[in-house]
Amino acid sequence: MPANLTPEYLEAERAFKEAASHAEKIAALEHMLAVIPKHKGTEKMRGELRRKLARLKQESERGRRAGPSRSAPVYHVEKEGAGQVALAGAPNTGKSSLLCRLTHATPEVAAYPFTTRLPGPGMMQFEDVQIQLVDLPPLDAQYGEAWVPQAIRSADAVLLVVDLGATDLLDELDNTVALLEKAKVALGRRDQLPYGWVAKPALVVANKLDRPGARDNFEAFVELYGARFPALAVSAETGEGLQELRRAVFNLLGIVRAYTKEPGKKPDLTAPYVLKAGATVADLAGRVHKEILAQMKYARVWTHPDAPHSSGAGAKFEGQMVHRDYVLADRDIVELHT
């Protein structure tokens, strides 16, 4: 069966052959895997690409540990929890204040710009999972830290924080988006990006809702900018909108939670497996153990008592038998049978 490789794949393949460093080769391989046509004719190629990628990552990690310097780049924050979300924006939009209110982190918060000079991580609790938020220095063409776009490239999603009291709010947001595009970061889910670009889901967090005139400003902002990015108004000062923001951040990551149970026993509803939206029972089985995946015959699915099932108007499943290709909904309870 012919592979029918696209021009975008061939360009990524060319970049891989010309790459001089492990990092460049890894980036090219990841792009090749992202754009290669998914059909029977490319199955062997995709397997070989995955093997090459795994080998390069192992070599890169060994080299990093054995090298003269073991320090990671200044922008690198080890990912933890269900996902990593970067807080990006202009100076004095309240990113650090939001981090304080949503997590147990204690960054320096001050009224003057460019207080934040290094990435500041914190863990935000949402129901039974934690999501890592990373406060970053402002994106600014003249005074910003050059490494900030790279930190955003590494994150799973982006919160674009704006100040509802700023007179140049739209200009600030346009500048933020332009600086990220200059670094080949496309905000919003997009397909068929040129080689070297990455797409990041994004949400505008309109902060300082407690300021005079802020609600009117938010309505005007949504009218002008709402078609481009989803937006949510909050106040880090009063806490208004922060609970809704937690849910919005979880949704932004495009993930689902799944719980496992043994036959005849109650499930543990405190420690879910976190998978990408669209994951199947087979994906969950592979996360539990590769032998379970290999031997699995079928599964039974229950709906979490607090979660409506997304595959129907409030449909509930109570031990329904499903096959390995069943697509999981958020908070499904799964009993794997081998």
Separation of CA 170 from chain center:
25
Number of domains in the chain: 3
Q: Is 266 helix (H, G, I), strand (E, B) or coil?
A: coil
Q: What is the CATH number of the domain that holds 134?
A: 3.40.50.300
Question: Is 308 inside a domain boundary?
Answer: yes
The more confident residue out of 47 and 190 is: 47
Shared domain for 93 and 235, answered yes or no, is yes
Shared domain for 133 and 234, answered yes or no, is yes
Question: Is 210 inside a domain boundary?
Answer: yes
Question: Is 332 inside a domain boundary?
Answer: yes
Shared domain for 93 and 239, answered yes or no, is yes
Question: Is 23 inside a domain boundary?
Answer: yes
Shared domain for 169 and 192, answered yes or no, is yes
pLDDT at 116: 54
Which structural domain range is residue 182 located in? 84-252
Shared domain for 47 and 137, answered yes or no, is no
Please name which of 318, 323, 324 lies closest in space to residue 332, comparing C-alpha atoms.
318
Q: Which residues contact 186 (CB under 8 A, 6 or more apart)?
A: 193, 197, 198, 199, 200
Shared domain for 89 and 29, answered yes or no, is no
* Predicted confidence (pLDDT) per residue in 234-266, tens digit: 999 999 999 999 999 999 999 999 999 988 888
The more confident residue out of 170 and 24 is: 170
Question: Is 76 inside a domain boundary?
Answer: no
Q: Is 90 left (phi over 0), alpha (psi -120 to 50) or beta?
A: beta
Phi/psi at 250 (5° precision)? -60, -45
| pTM of the predicted model as reported, rounded to 2 decimal places | 0.75
208, HSE (Cβ side, Cα atoms, 13 Å) = 17
Q: 237-257 burial, b for 16+ CB within 10 Å, e for fewer?
A: eeeebbeebbebbbbbbebbb
Question: Is 72 inside a domain boundary?
Answer: no
CB 182: neighbour CB atoms within 10 A? Answer: 10
Shared domain for 196 and 106, answered yes or no, is yes
Cα separation, 205 vs 241, in Å, equals 10
* Predicted confidence (pLDDT) per residue in 2-13, tens digit: 667 888 788 788
Pair 299, 330: CB distance under 8 Å: no
Cα separation, 242 vs 245, in Å, equals 5
Cα separation, 195 vs 35, in Å, equals 10
